Amino acid sequence: MKRVIRDLDDKITFIFSKYLKCSFPSQEIFQFIFDELFQRIEDNNLRKKFSTAEKSGSISDIEYKIKTKYVLFRIGNLTCGESYPKWNTVCNDVHSMVEQWADAEITILVDVIRNKLSMYDENSSLFSTDEYKDSVVTIPAQKNMTYLADLGFKR
């Protein structure tokens, strides 16, 4: 999941390269976008946050945090004579980037859940009692089916 964030370098470069040529401001922008997305992976339950019920609000929260950091960072003077673009200039591109990141993370979540379900299917016959099968296979499989549905996917 963290690899998806690292792969955003090109997208962030594309958004800001037409405005910034100095490496320091560009690296700082990269860093606070990366920090925010990494924080989401580490602190949040992405399976829940990216459910169909919460995805839009979660993306708005991420964008708000990025915007806040960007606006505060933008206040500083650049010694190389450049100026940061106003948030309104880059906000649509940042929104698209965050949406693409969220979709990539959802794809990973869905793949992991589907792999778990396949594993449950493959191993369900190994249990000698229905009680063990229920607790180790049936109930977890039902939970994972619910997770898929919450993310807007089917098996």
**Distance (Å, rounded) from C-alpha 96 to C-alpha 19?**
18
Residue 155 in domain: no
Residue 74 in domain: yes
Residue 77 in domain: yes
Q: Phi, psi at residue 104, to the nearest 5°?
A: -65, -40
Residue 145 in domain: yes
What amino acid is encoded at 128 in this protein? S
Q: What pTM does this model have?
A: 0.86
Count of domains observed in the chain: 1
pLDDT at 75: 65
Q: What is the pLDDT along the chain (155 residues), one digit of tens a residue?
A: 788 988 898 888 888 888 877 777 778 888 889 999 999 999 878 999 999 999 999 999 999 999 998 888 876 656 666 677 889 999 999 999 999 999 999 999 999 999 999 999 999 888 889 898 999 999 999 999 999 999 999 98
CB 52 within 8 A of CB 150: yes
- Cα end-to-end span (Å), the chain: 21
Residue 133 in domain: yes
pLDDT at 30: 87
